[in-house]
């Protein structure tokens, strides 16, 4: 009798997809599906999107949690290589519509209260269902077999900072940081069109409360970078950081990738030295962002530690719009108690900081990492100045409440493709400057320096903080 019941149970599970711990139910480009732990799929289309938008976002199942992540604006997700790549090289379904395994079976509507059996469509209903699903499933914790949790008695600034904590300074005294960063090559077009006036000539008279100009960080790769402009940016106090030499990293799922990873990450210092002829600039390079925000497992963090980098800023935190507060930067002395976006390092890296990309909220209610992957107005590259201002302000208000550093992370090419994004940013900065004494536009490295020794914003003004 028991044997018969077992056979029946197995038959039911095979038919409907195995409901094992760690599985997820997600809205994918192929409808609502059960994904196995660590499985990925393209996300369903949002309202107003067309076939060509398929693969703009992808979902990852990690220990029962569905994470929705964007690809870069011109990239699409490829389920074969599990990376964001050029649209012509990307596919969201296997040839002939074949399924990968029983994990791709449709889940009957009756078996999952949070799921719908609706295929991917551009209807509003599908989008809402996806958001609900995401919210429900992200309440579960990322599990790790590594030791923890972070010990607040021993993990203290300046050398250590626990995940999920905030600096021990009253909220009212805490400065509000906006981290302004640009990825990729520094070219003549973007430098002379935008960076020079904004960050070198200070044409728009943008000052931090200390009376010194605003600062930005540049995560650069070698190809197409003009080092004369890198030199000009560095000599005006802006941060130069590594984005790999050739804008790529090996997968990092094997230690055989280590030498190439070091060559890509640390090699950028050598390129900057060769290009600028100034060792002081390359010696100051201590930040890193992975191309396409593709974290390549522990190998990437091994390379950063061994090359004496101060911080990484590649891990996206997709949790904030599901009710979790945005995260302050933290050190990797302890394994993160939960991973907001796989993969995360699975062993400790004492003293190495992570500046998480907390994400912004697009006009379509999807969270996004880099500004130019966000939905702004009806379209990020046709949005007008008013829509951009609304986007900046709405997101700022979210971070200003808990005074967690807000990220304005983008590419210089965004200004070229959307001049209103630049005009609105300048005017919004001017507005902040006129109305707030506690708002500072800085680099991630400056935020870490402040976190090592936090002081009130009035003290920062008195000390002319950030003027060096």
Which parts of this chain interact with Zn ion (CB under 5 A)?
Answer: 183-184, 291
- Least Å from the CB of residue 223 to Zn ion: 11
Q: Please tell me the distance from the alpha carbon of residue 392 to that of residue 385, in angstroms, as a whole number.
A: 11
- Least Å from the CB of residue 184 to Zn ion: 4
User: Rounded to a whole number, what is the largest CA-CA distance in the chain?
Assistant: 83
Q: Which is nearer to Zn ion, 206 or 263 (CB)?
A: 263
- Least Å from the CB of residue 218 to Zn ion: 11
Q: Which is nearer to Zn ion, 312 or 319 (CB)?
A: 312
- Least Å from the CB of residue 406 to Zn ion: 21
Contact indicator for 262, 308 with CB cutoff of 8 Å: no
Q: Which is nearer to Zn ion, 130 or 316 (CB)?
A: 316
Strand-pairing partners, residue 207, are 213
CB within 8 Å of 288: residues ≥ 6 apart: 219, 241, 242, 243, 265, 304, 309, 311, 312, 313, 314
Contact indicator for 419, 455 with CB cutoff of 8 Å: no
CB within 8 Å of 431: residues ≥ 6 apart: none
CB within 8 Å of 356: residues ≥ 6 apart: 313, 315, 316, 317, 327, 329, 330, 340
Q: Which is nearer to Zn ion, 81 or 146 (CB)?
A: 81
- Least Å from the CB of residue 359 to Zn ion: 17
Residue nearest to Zn ion (CB): 183
Q: Which is nearer to Zn ion, 184 or 438 (CB)?
A: 184
Q: Please tell me the distance from the alpha carbon of residue 176 to that of residue 308, in angstroms, as a whole number.
A: 28
Cα separations (Å) of 183 from 158, 204, 286, 395? 28, 22, 15, 20
CB within 8 Å of 118: residues ≥ 6 apart: 31, 32, 125, 126, 129
- Least Å from the CB of residue 186 to Zn ion: 12
Written as six digits, the tokens of 168 are 């021990």
Q: Which is nearer to Zn ion, 367 or 373 (CB)?
A: 373
Q: Which is nearer to Zn ion, 32 or 369 (CB)?
A: 369
Question: What number of residues does the chain have?
Answer: 468
- Least Å from the CB of residue 15 to Zn ion: 44
3-state helix, strand, coil in the chain (%, to 5): 35, 15, 45
Beta strand 217-220 with 57-62 is unpaired
Q: What angle do CA 53, 69, 50 make, to 5 degrees?
A: 10
- Least Å from the CB of residue 313 to Zn ion: 12
Contact indicator for 432, 205 with CB cutoff of 8 Å: no
Q: Which is nearer to Zn ion, 183 or 264 (CB)?
A: 183
Q: Which is nearer to Zn ion, 336 or 380 (CB)?
A: 380
- Least Å from the CB of residue 248 to Zn ion: 10
């Amino acid at each position: 009798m028991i044997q018969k019941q077992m056979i029946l149970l197995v038959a039911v599970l095979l038919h409907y997809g195995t409901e094992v711990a760690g599985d997820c139910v997600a809205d994918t480009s192929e409808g609502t599906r059960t994904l196995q732990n660590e499985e990925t799929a393209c996300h369903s289309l949002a309202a107003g999107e067309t076939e060509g938008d398929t693969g703009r976002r992808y979902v990852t199942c990690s220990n029962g949690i569905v994470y929705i992540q964007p690809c870069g604006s011109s990239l699409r997700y490829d389920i074969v290589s599990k990376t964001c790549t050029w649209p012509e090289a990307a596919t969201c379904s296997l040839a002939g519509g074949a399924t990968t395994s029983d994990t791709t079976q449709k889940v009957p509507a009756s078996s999952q209260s949070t799921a719908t059996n609706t295929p991917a469509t551009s209807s509003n209903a599908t989008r809402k269902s996806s958001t609900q699903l995401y919210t429900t499933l992200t309440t579960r914790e990322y599990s790790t077999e590594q030791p923890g949790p972070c010990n607040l008695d021993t993990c203290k600034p300046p050398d250590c900072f626990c995940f999920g904590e905030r600096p021990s300074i009253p909220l009212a005294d805490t400065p509000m940081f906006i981290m302004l960063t640009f990825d990729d090559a520094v070219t003549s077009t973007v430098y002379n069109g935008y960076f020079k006036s904004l960050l070198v000539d200070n044409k728009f008279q943008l000052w931090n409360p200390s009376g010194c100009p605003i600062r930005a960080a540049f995560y650069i790769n070698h190809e197409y970078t003009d080092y004369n402009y890198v030199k000009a940016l560095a000599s005006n106090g802006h941060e130069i950081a590594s984005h790999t030499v050739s804008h790529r990293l090996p997968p990092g799922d094997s230690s055989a990738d280590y030498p190439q990873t070091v060559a890509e990450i640390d090699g950028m210092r050598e390129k900057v030295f060769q290009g600028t002829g100034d060792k002081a600039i390359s010696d100051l390079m201590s930040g890193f962002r992975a191309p396409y925000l593709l974290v390549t497992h522990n190998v990437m963090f091994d390379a950063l530690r061994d090359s004496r980098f101060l911080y990484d800023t590649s891990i996206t935190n997709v949790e904030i719009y599901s009710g979790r507060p945005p995260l302050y930067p933290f050190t990797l002395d302890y394994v993160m108690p939960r991973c907001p976006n796989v993969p995360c390092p699975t062993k400790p890296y004492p003293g190495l900081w992570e500046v998480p990309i907390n994400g912004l909220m697009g006009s379509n209610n999807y969270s996004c990492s880099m500004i130019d992957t966000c939905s702004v107005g009806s379209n990020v590259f046709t949005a007008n100045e008013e829509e951009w201002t609304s986007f900046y302000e709405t997101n700022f208000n979210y971070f200003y409440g808990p005074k967690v550093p807000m990220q304005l992370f983008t590419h210089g090419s965004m200004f070229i493709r959307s001049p209103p994004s630049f005009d609105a940013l300048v005017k919004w900065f001017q507005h902040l400057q006129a109305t707030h004494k506690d708002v500072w536009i800085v680099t991630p490295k400056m935020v870490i320096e402040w976190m090592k020794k936090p002081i009130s914003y009035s003290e920062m003004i008195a000390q002319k903080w950030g003027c060096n």
